[in-house]
Structure 1
């Protein structure tokens, strides 16, 4: 299996499932006459980030992960989304961006140095494989899982199959 095959499909599967989860959360709000802003601002605990930010961060880890692994220019996506539709559009743009990468761009990426922010005033450098498996992918799944948890906690009828999305 190529490094491309390990990276790109993992991001795409979850980005697509997040669109499906948001669609169900939006329908849940409409059916129960819940202000969508309440759902998008929901958190699992007061010191955690809200649903909207969890989606934005999942999007960032996928897009910036691919960019860093291929030494491409980092995409700029300001966190301005305030509605379900805007968040779904952001995910769709991220999917298009991730799909734009070609397998040859990942050739040798697992052994190349990847430098990334590791706090407000420092950076860290890891080999591509270590960056992907210890930083990018775990953070991506953390934010996707937290988004699922927030929606489920707020009564959206979703489960594991919705989280995994269509294979």
Structure 2
């Protein structure tokens, strides 16, 4: 469970940090106000770019906490710049670096309980990781990437993959 979560989340958080660095360079080179991208939404009922990045970190860190039976850590959602978002990504990576394979003993069968708008959801850890935490993580990361790509930031698959 450790190998299926921590290295995956860490790799893609690092990649997202690189994507944000390219976005920051793009706005500087094009003379665009950073707020134009930070607050951009793909559609009016979707969350803005900044929130997409925040949720990407949340699903990684909170997912690891839940798998290990820990109290779920919360990061305050106060970022208003690319630099602050990159700092949040670095903080999430540092936090994930504090987990060890031993922390995940029994995680595949540990019951994870989520309280959602639709009600309470219960599932074993293996199902939670593969059917909830990772898909949510990648949904928000992809949406952040797509917002930047839609706005002309020169990004490709290698940027997304962190290759």
Determine which of 93, 100, 115 is the counterpart of 2:113.
Answer: 115
Deviation at 1:108, TM superposition (A): 1.4
Q: Which runs of 5+ in 2 are unaligned?
A: none
TM-score by length of 1: 0.95
In structure 1, the residue matched to 2:34 is 36
1:70-149 equivalent positions in 2, closer than 5 A: 70-119=68-117, 122-149=119-146
Deviation at 1:21, TM superposition (A): 0.4
8 Å contact kept, 2:69–2:110: no
Task: Provide the alpha-carbon RMSD of the alignment.
Answer: 0.9
In structure 2, the residue matched to 1:24 is 22
TM-score by length of 2: 0.97
In structure 1, the residue matched to 2:49 is 51
Q: Deviations over 1:105-130 (max 9, x none)?
A: 101100110111222x7321100000
Deviation at 1:76, TM superposition (A): 1.8
Deviation at 1:89, TM superposition (A): 0.5
Show structure 1 runs of 4+ deviating over 3 A. Answer: none
Q: Which runs of 5+ in 1 are unaligned?
A: none
Q: State the distance in 2 between where 1:105 and 1:116 align.
A: 20
